[in-house]
Chains A and B, each alone.
Chain A
Amino acid sequence: MIQVRNLGIDFGSEWALKNIDLDIPSNTTCAIIGPSGCGKTTLLCVLAGLLVPTAGQVLIDGQQLRGIRKNTGLILQNNGLLPWKTTWKNVELGLRTRQPDRKIVNEKVYSILKQMEISEFRNKYPAQLSGGQKQRTAIARTLVLEPDILLLDEASSALDAITREQLQNLILEIYKNKPTTLVLVTHSIEEAVFLGQKIVVMKKAQIKHIMSNPFFGDADIRTKPDYYNVCMEVRKRLCGDA
């Protein structure tokens, strides 16, 4: 379980995060949505252990987070793939630092590439992949480490509409097959409603509203009116002054 208590980040001239309190139960999903500059990516970086909070604390399974945690996976907006490594080398990068047995590394990498349907691109470099294939590679690189917390920073923002929906379906499928604590930052209302069991609306470095999404988990929700009702609700919260 992730517990964020009275969290604050001060970048000197201004507060990037202020008085953040948030609970994310284990093996549930949470979508953080808000306008650019509201602090959602900063919050994700704190959860990843990349930024040290100025005030407050983050507890993971009751333990205070101090730096990078081995079992937390992070997928960044621009996927963070290294241009000089092939798909295979990118995916095995983190695993090789933890697993000395070459045979196990190869088996795990091959298996995750198959699962992500990118095994045919294993010898391609990121520059030779499409946006969707790159994101699948970035997801594979993180999932191969079998994290118990998965953090996604606007993972689908650079993709076209169809590829974005395919990626969202893939993330939901991954979650359903093996539930983990999933926190995603997005500026897409539709994505937040499709992937967020809990939807957190942020504005001006603070959490303005937290709502639960009763329709989470339905892969066909996009075709149902309920989906648009929740989207409308999130839109209202985002556009409202309160």
Chain B
Amino acid sequence: MKVLRRTFNIRKIYGLAVVICLWEIIHFIVNSKIVPGPYETAKAFLGLLSGNLVLHILSSLFRVLSAISVSAAAGVPLGLLTGMSRKADSFISPVMYILYPIPKIAFLPVFMILFGLGNSSKIVLVTSIIIFQIMLSARDGVREIPQEFYYSARSLGLSMFQIYMHIVVPAVLPKLFSAMRISMGMCIAALFFSENFSTTFGIGYFIMNCWVMADYLHMFAGILALSLMGMLMFKVIDYAEKKLCPWLHLDS
């Protein structure tokens, strides 16, 4: 166990070391203020933490977490319903198949007109990107539940509500965590884009504002903050999965 833990830590350190080395090499080759080195960027980042960078990070986090909450609250029940009921599937799936591949980011101007220039339009944009991923994962998760589980549950006398709680939800949970991991990249990219319009807070705004001011060191500190935010969210998803799906992380 200890050996495994040590190996895992070594792998993390190895990954970090490779990324820092590559960054240093690019900084050396470019040899310009446009790409500052990792050390000075980290120093600038730590310096900005006592300033308003934290507010920018918190604004972005609020938007992402709100979008994830709305997507989960609406997408999971709809996905489960689509997976469990053929009738619901015949109504919801055709609409989902048309809307899912449409590039939602192009709708940002529409969302800004409809939901205002503040947080709402940004949250709606990110929600519109991840909700379909969550719905599809929930639906497919339900469809993959073996028939024998339902037979067992029914013969044990479980009600429909108990079948949902004891079979459907736990069977779908790992799929939802995977969907969130996959959506996270798209989600942060969309957020970055949306924060370039009509806002003065958010990490996307901070990065682009620094770029306009030719403040490349702080721009890189902002990129570092955005990357750390993404990493933190990944870690939170991993942690939540470990806590809520312990059967997926067995030692033997």
Contacts and interface: CB of A to CB of B under 8 A. Distances in A.
Asked whether A and B interact, the reply is yes
B156 A125 contact: no
B247 A83 contact: yes
Contact of A74 (B146, B151, B166, B247): B151
B162 interface: yes
Interface residues of A, number: 28
Given A78-B146, A80-B149, A82-B167, A97 B156 contact: yes
Interface string B232-244: 0000000000000
Contacts of B159: 97
Interface residues of B, number: 22
A74 B155 contact: yes
Given A93-B166, A97-B162, A84 B155 contact: no
A94 B250 contact: no
A45 B247 contact: no
Nearest to A124: B250
Interface in B132-166: 146, 148-149, 151-159, 162, 166
Given A97-B162, A127-B247, A82 B157 contact: no
Interface in A76-119: 76-78, 80-85, 93-94, 97-98
B151 A45 contact: yes
B7 to A, nearest CB: 22
A141 B156 contact: yes
Contact of A80 (B152, B162, B166): B152
Contacts of A85: 166, 170
A94 B157 contact: yes
Contact of B250 (A70, A81, A98, A128): A128
B252 interface: yes
Nearest to B169: A84
Interface in B27-74: none
Nearest to A70: B157
Residue from A49, A93, A125, A127 having most chain B Cβ neighbours under 10 A: A93
Nearest to A73: B155
16 contacts: A48-B151, A49-B155, A68-B154, A72-B155, A74-B151, A74-B155, A76-B152, A77-B148, A82-B152, A82-B170, A84-B245, A93-B166, A94-B157, A97-B156, A142-B155, A142-B156
Interface of A: 45, 48-50, 68, 70, 72-74, 76-78, 80-85, 93-94, 97-98, 125, 127-128, 141-142, 145
Interface of B: 146, 148-149, 151-159, 162, 166-167, 170-171, 245-247, 250, 252
Given A68-B157, A80-B148, A97-B159, 5 more contacts: A50-B154, A74-B151, A125-B247, A127-B250, A141-B156
